[in-house]
Structure 1
Amino acid sequence: MFHFKSMKTIAITAVSAVAILATPVSAETKLRGASLFDEDHAYTRTLREFERLVGEKYDGDVSFDMSLNGELGDESDFVTFLQQGVAIDYAIMAPSNMATFAPSIPLMDMPFLFRDLEHWDTALASGVMAPLEAELLAKANIRVIGYAGGGVRNLASAEPIGNMDELTGHKMRVMGAPIQAQVFSAIKAAPSAIAYNEVYNAIQTGVIAGFENEAASIQNLKFYEVAPNITLTRHAITVRPLVMSESSFSALPADLQAAVLAAGAEAGAFGRKLESTQDGEKLQEMADAGQIKVQEFAGRDELLKLVIPVQDAYAAELGATELLEAIRSK
């Protein structure tokens, strides 16, 4: 026979148990990143800085899991994962590799767009890329949270390419966005889009004779073994958006979203400074080690004359003439 006091105790215990079950448990948020490179590469170091800054700015529990060395595929795979909101939450991407979903986005990475590093950094810090960011968000479900990059891209080839005659008909790999092929066709090369992870073998087997890239990637992936001739065309200063899947971002609590946005901007600035500083150093390291031979391109001004009409036509086709002029005027 239960006494009233016992029944009251049981009731209180039951209510307490229900209350405990109903109380939300503070769960750790896990964010997944991806990099094509190892821990030493500027892109990976920038992503690590992003992780550190998020942890510093967010009061809750958040952890990070980053796949390195292209474990999850190349950047075309990254884009698909980000767009679908699976496997990857954040990464650093080449704009041209996002063109499948957002056709205008390669404009921010167009060859011969920036005059020099100062123009490049000023443009990226100015907010001028906002229309392209909006298109990427609307069409690809990918949010730009910062801008890294800063590598100066040059030609790398099996045989020396030092002037217009040697460049004419040069079979080279370019990124998949149409503007890349249009620009290099305009300067008389013979470009073709080949997956990044196939470039080494394609040069080795003679499918192509070279490609274009920045020093960090040439060194990191040992491309100098098959393309030891570096021609200083300085045709691009890389723009590498630090991006996040909008599906992942929108699922975060508001305070973590704020931390991600602040950390993305700061990590991007960190990455720009890091890579732009390292670029010349890495080129010199490879030269000193006898891994590459470096030469200037004779007649670079002629390249600029050939490229500007292509840039103008591309921007007009996208309805982005004003944006192109805004970037040039920075």
Structure 2
Amino acid sequence: MKRPPSSRRVSPIGLDLSPAEIRMVQVIGTPDQFEIFRSAVIPRRGPIESWTKLASIDVEALAGTLFRRGFSGDRVTIAAPREACSTHLIDLPSRDGKAPVDAIAKAEVGRAKRCDPSSFELAAWYLPSRGRGEQGVAVACDRTQLESRIASLEAIGLRVVGVDLAEWGLCRTFGPLLAAEPESVHAVVQVGWSSTIGVLTIGGQVVYTRQFSRGISDLFERLCGRTTLSSSDAAAFLDAMPNDADGSAGDLMVRRSLASLGKDLAAELDTAVTYVTHMYRSAPVGSIFLAGYGADRAELAGEFDRVMGMPVHWAEASRGGRRLELATGLAGRFDA
């Protein structure tokens, strides 16, 4: 694999293992300022029913792509499988004390799940203070499913040096933009294949994450049904279609489908923003940052703007580029 310039610090390879495609990014720089060194997107060839274990054909394609595209090293960072995770709101001791916060959080989540704390991995963090007892968020990931994903990558000689949450990876990519208005409630929305993630932040801190049941798959299935396009071809068609596309039947169908998707997602996000602004009444409403499929489409952004009245920023505003936002944020974990 190609080595980066010696004067720059190279990151692990961020892998976003989505149901329809595998996205990989490597960056150079520092945790506060980095740029993409290598990137690639390949379609999934195996069955997409499960996220937890990559099919052998996908693993082989991943290994070949990393080699041909000149990625450096064998260290990778992945996101915890979302379907293997559960989220819990927990009470935490004072953040000024010396209490073992991680151990306390793990024990509390174990009681809530009624399972052995050793059966899951945990990430926990404090929520912004609201002038009362300290609260935090804990996300537990089933150890068996996580180890299955790690094993499939280690089988091709990769070393998984970090496991992150998708919400934190996205926030890392959009970090400078979120920091521009640190007291505001911002929303990062990643449109996925069959579902969408909405992440609400204050001061760069994740305060609420919600998964919406709609993604881009409905549009792609309609597009593929009317043509001979594969799902990867449909993604390329969407990427290539300009925002000022003509009124052809195909373009019109895509535009209407994107607007319908945006309307539904904006209504779901509006509920989430209302909930968070009720929790943090003094925090002003900030901006929406779109990522994932169709993030640069005016039809999608227009519905969020119309329904919510919040400024909307497209994918170009991020350091990740089209559908690479999560992989970029995973790569940006220089501490891994």
Larger helix percent? 1
Q: Same fold (TM over 0.5)?
A: no
Larger strand percent? 2
TM-score calculated relative to the size of structure 1: 0.28
If you compute each CA radius of gyration, which structure gives the higher value, 1 or 2?
1
Larger relative CO (CA 8 A, sep 6+): 1 or 2?
A: 1
TM-score calculated relative to the size of structure 2: 0.27
